[in-house]
Chains A and B, each alone.
Chain A
Amino acid sequence: MAKIKFKLNNKEIEIDENPNLRLLDVLRDKFEFTGVKEGCGEGECGACAVLINNDIVNSCIVPLGNVNGKEIMTIEGYSETKKYDVIKDAYAEEGAVQCGFCTPGMIIASESLLNKNPHPTEEEIRVGLSGNLCRCTGYNMIVKAVKSAAKKGDGLW
């Protein structure tokens, strides 16, 4: 057990927990976040992606101890923002959501990309999303959604 302090969705958190727990399990079990999902459990599929200090990270391979002093943003917090609204509307309009299991992670990846590169080319979008697997869409509608979000949300990022 160890005292671990971090910011979660803009809220200060201090917990006494086993620092070896996977961040994914803590977010799901302790904070009851359903938007952070387990797809592969080894950092490959991106369904559990969160932002840690604005960088996209797969929470299934992060020990809780590693987030001490850091800022975590999950889809639950991110969905309160204006940028999220632009992205999710673009996802809906382009048909980028099918089964939805990859979607929150995909949206986090979209934010991470646009945050670093507000006007990405198609190739940059494809590379930016390549850490997130989707089996339903063939990705094209997601790529189009990110392109459209970058345009409609111009100035937000």
Chain B
Amino acid sequence: MSDVLEYDVLIIGAGPAGSATARYAAKNGARTLVIEKRQEIGSPVRCGEGVSLSWIEELEIKEYKRWTAAKVKGARLYSPSGHVLEITEKMAGNEVGVVCERDVFDKEMARLAVEEGADYMMKTTAVSLIKEDGKICGVKARSMGKELEIRADLVIGADGFESQVGRWAGIYDAIPPQDIMTCFQYRMAGIDFDPNYTHFYMGSSAPGGYVWVFPKGEGIANVGLGVQLSMLDGKKTPKEYLDEFIASHDQFKDGEPIDMVAGAVAVTHPPETVTTDGLLLVGDASRVVDPMTGGGIVNGMKQGKIAGEFAAKCVSEGRFDKEFLKGYEKEWRDQLGNKLWRNYMAKEKATKLTDDTFDKVIDALSELKLNQVSIGAILEGVKEKYPELIEEFQDML
């Protein structure tokens, strides 16, 4: 006989989206439990750690210095032959960019949820959903070697890219390979670069993706890349792509790795649904990673807030059916849906660009004084110098 726990809301996964959900569910009165399969929240880190601060007021985050490794002034984009486009904070709509310490960040997001009354259990893995009368009403779990039944009116899958919850619930199919980026990163010490900027290298050094250099301080950065799965031929791994990139760049080749990170992200369009009776998904598990950048923290946390508040509403109204959960679907899509679709379509085109096109685009843009970076402004800028490049993007103008 396994132990039985009972909650209003059970969240699987203690990443930023899971903890944001927990925080707002608990704050609004739901008895909330978060389970995390690892022994430590936020570790091992699986992230490039670059993030804007545009969302912190909305998420009522008062203090960010504790989880910030470096603040940057802007971003530099490099074309394959070395043209550079500098994007300043002002051009990016005054969005301040930082490189965070995800292990500290994730624990801080969990702390904020605990402050509101959420419970946490570590080293606790969901192994299956409990279904009664066609409705999901909890999970079977393993916690420190013990079998456990956790019953909840609403189960929330915040279990990331490799979400089991979403698949168990039959919410979606496998992600197509052209919508998966597979990533590898070193934290490198002893490198020579400008730590006031994030750096992005476009083109065939990372097919269908890009190489990023995100400063963690003077002489130290996360140097990583993402490669589109369908562009890999099985001969060269993402790690080998990165090793090649580093060996061929003087500013990085003498550095030493002090950390290695691997992982994958789904850069896909929003799924048709992320809910079913008694269950909803948030964060990477609901596939809200920005398809252009591969960044998932901001969307995941914004969606988590919506999910948490909605979960509390479910509890107060006693409604956990799919029909009622449409309210959650509407709220998060109203806030994130359009941008996700637009960036998905832009990604579909950007991943097909050749090195030559990247050279021309970045060359043309670097000569302009862009006041604002938007897809429209970029296309207008390129059109002047290379009108032939714009033809297939015409529909996005």
Task: Decide if A and B are genuine partners.
Answer: no
Interface on B for A, CB 8 Å cutoff?
none
A residues with a Cβ closer than 8 A to B are none
